[in-house]
Amino acid sequence: MKNRTKYILFAIIMIFMFLHIFQQITKSFYVESLKGYITYSQKPRFSWYRWHTETYQKETETFLNERFGFREWYVRINNQYKYWMFNHAMAKGVVVGKNGELYEKDYIMAYYGHDYRGYYTILDICAKMKLLQDTLSKLNTKFLVVMAPGKATFCPENIPDWIEKNSDSTNYKTYAKLLDYFGVNHIDFNKHFVDIKDTIKYKLFPIAGVHWSTYGEYYAFDSIIRYMEKQTGKDLPNLDISEVEFSRTPRHRDSDIGNGMNLIFNIDKDQYAYPKLKIDQENKTRLNAIVISDSFYWGVFGRNITGKVFADNQFWFYYKQFISKKTERTKNQVKIKNEIENTDVLILMGSEHNIRDIGYGFIWDAFSFYYQNYSVDNYIINKFVEDYKQKLRDSIIKSENNGIILNQSLLSKYADSLINNNELFLKKIQDFKQKATKNFYIYKTIEEIRKNEKWYNRIKIKSFTEKIPINKLLLLEGEYAYNEKNKVWKNEQEKQVKESKTQIDNIILEIKSNEVWFNKIKEKAKQQGEDIEIALKREAEWLYNYRLKEQK
């Protein structure tokens, strides 16, 4: 009896193995492919050297593990088990929140300020945007920044409690404040979606999606068109999304995270609203548009809705892929300056996670076209000064209206002395720069750690053994790297200061040894009532800087 049982089990195992091999070779049974970003290794190349070093065997094992029969079923069974038992998503970067809400972790990190780039960095970018906007306006190109929404901001109530908050300062909050401050044309959908969340009829974010819902996407695109109508004074095609049809099955990108989790059973139980889209094009003006954006623009562009609104729409995806109706080009194939000067509308779009790098390098390129050797710091200082003056004027008017008599002459002199002495503002800018350098270096170091598997694993182990949050350890590691680098910078700076002092002292000796030159400086100092040593030092410093510039 025992032997019979063994034979039966052996037969079942053999049949099972045969089925896997049969499926792997013939693909006779239909098995739905895994969704999301899936990479497969290449078939290994045989050589005797690779055989003796066991490289070939390891690569072959990986290759076969990725392709055995019915693998997709086993992956889905495993993923479903982890999701049901542990509320855990096997898809990279996906977080399962409360009430089944799915998030991409990067958006939560952005919402909690983990990727904050610093006030000065964003101040510098927003100032450049304003200058670009003014220049492009003269060239008849309208400039617009669109802040696409983030799911973490839209429904923070479902973020799991184990994710640690980092800071109240975030890239989004700082951009929102500074775009207003500089007067940059922008639409803040991050705020607007939250404002209308409880009153709008249909869902703006699907439970299993990272992007705005199809309805939310159409709603936003129509809002952008209406904003551009006000900016240009043109009557543009509008989207009619008043009529909708409902579906329990998500379409388009409404379950992009859910699909990427590769489960057996769908987690979507929502009712989705899909507009029966109508676009009024009759007697309408169709502008040319360039949109530099992340994936939040893919929906309307990929379904060619933009092609019915704009005469020519170029989508510069992350400022790397340059896509239009007919072609796809690389950056090297595009004359950026010509393109932006020949378009009617230029839009920079970024979601809450990607707004930290909005424009994705475009702002620096465009700025170099029109503002070579231009000091943005001076522009910012002047902006601060003008704002200070205006506040002073407003306070005087307010005081007069309240019947308070001020000594305006004395007040004006005091104000002028503050405004004309720009040291306060210069110090503020220098502080911003120092903080920005530190924040940026820490931010880059943390990115390098996450990309370096061994380094990141060491941090994970330390976090687990010492019960310290991993984000805190990453920050400490970044700060340590910055402090070490700062020591090198300071040593180099001190060395340069010593070298410059030696050079200036040598120039002073050079002047003193030249009787004619020295007498001229003496005479000039006497006329101005200035100490001769001060005059000598100033002359030597000027000559040192001039020679340094000539060498460059």
**Cα 9-11-12 angle, rounded to 5 deg:** 65
DSSP notation for 404-465: ----HHHHHHHHHHHHH-THHHHHHHHHHHHHHHHHHHHHHHHHHHHH-HHHHHHHHHHHHH
CA 509 to the chain's CA centroid: 54
Predicted local confidence at residue 458, as pLDDT: 86
Among 36-45, 177-186, 203-212, 507-516, the range scoring the smallest mean pLDDT is 36-45
DSSP notation for 162-206: TSPP--S--HHHHHHHHHHHHT--EEEHHHHHHHHTTTSSS-SS-
Among 97-111, 127-141, 258-272, 287-301, the range scoring the smallest mean pLDDT is 258-272
| CA–CA separation, 124 and 145 (whole Å) | 15
pLDDT band per the 50, 70, 90 thresholds, residue 310: very high
Q: In terms of Cα–Cα distance, which of 329, 319, 326, 312 is closest to 292?
A: 319
> Do 440 and 118 touch, CB atoms closer than 8 A?
yes
Summarize the confidence of residues 335-351 as an average pLDDT.
95
What is the pTM assigned to this prediction? 0.70
Tell me the CB-side half-sphere exposure of residue 347, using CA atoms within 13 A: 29
> Do 128 and 380 touch, CB atoms closer than 8 A?
no
Summarize the confidence of residues 2-30 as an average pLDDT.
66
Residues in the chain: 552
pLDDT band per the 50, 70, 90 thresholds, residue 23: low
Predicted local confidence at residue 412, as pLDDT: 52
| CA–CA separation, 334 and 322 (whole Å) | 8
Predicted local confidence at residue 345, as pLDDT: 96
Place of tokens 């820490």: 442
Beta bridge partners of 328: 323
| CA–CA separation, 82 and 77 (whole Å) | 9
Q: Which helix (H) or strand (E) holds 261?
A: none
Among 94-108, 172-186, 407-421, 458-472, the range scoring the smallest mean pLDDT is 407-421
Summarize the confidence of residues 177-187 as an average pLDDT.
95
| CA–CA separation, 231 and 143 (whole Å) | 9
| % of the chain exceeding 70 in pLDDT | 81
Predicted local confidence at residue 58, as pLDDT: 80
